[in-house]
A and B are shown apart, each in its own frame.
Chain A
Amino acid sequence: MSPSGAEFIRQVKAQVAEIDPSAVHELVGNGVAIVDVRETEEFATGHLPGARHLPRGYLESRIEGVVPDRDQRVILYCASGTRSALAAHTLTHDLGYQRVESMTGGITLWKDRGYLVDVPQTLSAEQRERYSRHILIPEIGESGQRKLLEARVLLLGAGGLGSPTALYLAAAGVGTLGIVDNDVVDLSNLQRQVIHSTDRIGMPKVDSAEQSIKALNPDVEVVKYQTRLDASNIMEIIAGWDIIVDGVDNFPTRYLLNDASVRLQIPVVSASILGFDGQLSIFKPYDGPCYRCLFPVPPPAELAPSCGANGVLGVLPGTMGLLQATEVVKLIVGAGEPAIGRLLLYDALAATLTEVKVRRDPECAVCSRPPDSIRDEEMGVFPDYEAFCAAAG
């Protein structure tokens, strides 16, 4: 006679290894694969920190995508410990996984013990309205908007390029914006730096930018670095950001930024402007070329009009900064063809956009090597900045 369902479950539990939530709590973050076998809507209400999700119905067909190594230690859990025991039985006895355990009592007992659960961010009613025009676009939608809200983007400079980029990324709901800028607002900035205003002349640009961002979208957290980026602080400042938006105005910092971002493998959305001309490209380490692949050596000082004040059409940093913001949003939501390996040249007077290919240099001094082989003393190797600009006269 066949056993009852309850009897069958008892038999299965006797044949699998079980583990108490207190023991699992000790293992979180230690490289053990913790797999939630509940349904998608259950997972969405909260799960163990770092848990991977594989509904039991897809267990056999998808486990290799979640845990490819059959010798890896795997802990399964569900709501109360029954479905995970059945799944553990399958992995152990049918699929040859060697070290599978089922968590007793499931996430219910885990919570009763007072352990934390991760609750995936969901949109509030107000956010649904604020971002409704994004949610309507299939390429973004609700999941893309959540990615934007979870994204961390660092802006180098709250000047010509940084102003429009910061405003539009804030409006788009990029959750955390970092701003590095050591300047204060000057009257001559206001012809183009639209994040600042006349009544804020003399105020640090990071504070002025924060005010405008918060006024536009209080969802956005602003992290301010009122400093000049240099070799002593760059690794500390840029580590942990998802994307860097480069609007720096000088070659030494561009090379330094390139080397540090390759080392930390952070994509840089880069633009530069002069007069009526703009350039834009994305340098995504190891997926595409880096800045040193494009320009292995800087130009001599007399050909590098980046040291003193240069004229620029006030609208142009708006155009180029918004092309940068567009590329940032595309990278975050994973839509379209990012400008990786391509340099876009915008000529505002001619109203033309020219594109040239940028290839990875197999002999690049920086990105032809593994990231951890790039040493501190090699980063940003470049003539001394003051000397460089003094030579430019």
Chain B
Amino acid sequence: MATIKIPPVLRASVGGEREVSAAGDSVGEVLRSLVEDHPATATQLFGDDGELNRYVNVYLNDEDVRVLDGLATTVGEGDVLVILPAMAGGR
């Protein structure tokens, strides 16, 4: 199981959790297992083409999966995925 850190804008879609665990051997599998458990996250993460939305960054540990193998990047036991949409509050 990998741990996924959930950003503020997605927490409502996962019942308010800040971190969830999900199974899978690749980034794509882990995220799809998140979507199965919490269907409201689907449109926020994935576009109609099944690819990650360009405004959402996903990091495996501290590295952007786009500079690794994207959704095919291998995920090991105990790895941490960080989902990061842009945030702009400053007030």
Binding site for B on A (CB under 8 A): 157, 159-162, 189, 246-251, 254, 271-277, 279, 294-300, 303-306, 310, 312, 317, 343, 345, 347, 349-350, 354-359
The listed residue (A254, A274, A347, A356) touching B84 by CB distance below 8 A is: A356
The distance from the CB of A156 to the nearest CB of chain B, in whole angstroms, is 8
The distance in angstroms between the C-alpha atoms of A312 and B91, with both chains bound, is: 9
Inter-subunit contact B90/A251 (CB<8 Å): no
Least CB separation from B44: chain A residue: A303
Inter-subunit contact B91/A251 (CB<8 Å): no
The listed residue (B44, B59, B90) touching A249 by CB distance below 8 A is: B90
What B residues does A354 contact at CB under 8 A? Answer: 5, 62, 82
* With A272-B88, A277-B87, A357-B63 as contacts: A345 and B55 at CB distance below 8 Å: no
Inter-subunit contact A300/B55 (CB<8 Å): yes
Inter-subunit contact B90/A271 (CB<8 Å): yes
What A residues does B44 contact at CB under 8 A? Answer: 303
Inter-subunit contact B86/A304 (CB<8 Å): yes
Least CB separation from A246: chain B residue: B90
What A residues does B90 contact at CB under 8 A? Answer: 157, 159-162, 246-249, 271-273, 317
Inter-subunit contact B64/A273 (CB<8 Å): no
Interface string of B2-28 (1 = CB under 8 A from A): 000101110000000010000000000
21 sampled A-B residue pairs with Cβ under 8 A: A159-B90, A160-B90, A162-B90, A246-B90, A249-B89, A271-B90, A272-B88, A272-B89, A273-B87, A274-B87, A299-B56, A300-B55, A304-B88, A306-B87, A312-B89, A343-B84, A356-B62, A356-B64, A356-B84, A357-B59, A357-B62
The distance in angstroms between the C-alpha atoms of A276 and B6, with both chains bound, is: 13
Total of A-B residue pairs, C-beta within 8 Å: 98
Whether B73 is near chain A, meaning CB under 8 Å from some CB there, is no
What A residues does B89 contact at CB under 8 A? Answer: 249, 272-274, 305-306, 310, 312
The listed residue (A160, A246, A296) touching B54 by CB distance below 8 A is: A296
The distance in angstroms between the C-alpha atoms of A274 and B9, with both chains bound, is: 9
Other A-B pairs, 9, CB within 8 Å; known A249-B91, A250-B88, A350-B18: A157-B90, A159-B90, A248-B88, A297-B54, A303-B85, A306-B89, A312-B89, A355-B62, A356-B57
The distance in angstroms between the C-alpha atoms of A251 and B86, with both chains bound, is: 9
What B residues does A162 contact at CB under 8 A? Answer: 90
Least CB separation from B67: chain A residue: A359
Least CB separation from B18: chain A residue: A350
What B residues does A347 contact at CB under 8 A? Answer: 18
Inter-subunit contact B86/A299 (CB<8 Å): yes
Inter-subunit contact A299/B55 (CB<8 Å): yes
The distance from the CB of B7 to the nearest CB of chain A, in whole angstroms, is 7
Least CB separation from B5: chain A residue: A354
Inter-subunit contact B86/A298 (CB<8 Å): yes
The distance in angstroms between the C-alpha atoms of A297 and B62, with both chains bound, is: 21
The distance from the CB of B79 to the nearest CB of chain A, in whole angstroms, is 13
What A residues does B18 contact at CB under 8 A? Answer: 347, 349-350
The listed residue (A247, A277, A317, A357) touching B8 by CB distance below 8 A is: A277
Inter-subunit contact B87/A297 (CB<8 Å): no
The distance from the CB of A240 to the nearest CB of chain B, in whole angstroms, is 23
Inter-subunit contact B55/A298 (CB<8 Å): yes
The 3 closest A-B pairs by CB, nearest first: A247-B90, A306-B88, A295-B86
Q: Which of B7, B87, B90 has the most CB of A within 10 A?
A: B90
What A residues does B88 contact at CB under 8 A? Answer: 248-251, 254, 272, 304, 306
What A residues does B85 contact at CB under 8 A? Answer: 299, 303
The distance in angstroms between the C-alpha atoms of A335 and B85, with both chains bound, is: 31
Q: Which of A246, A247, A272, A295 has the most CB of B within 10 A?
A: A295
The listed residue (B53, B82, B86, B91) touching A356 by CB distance below 8 A is: B82
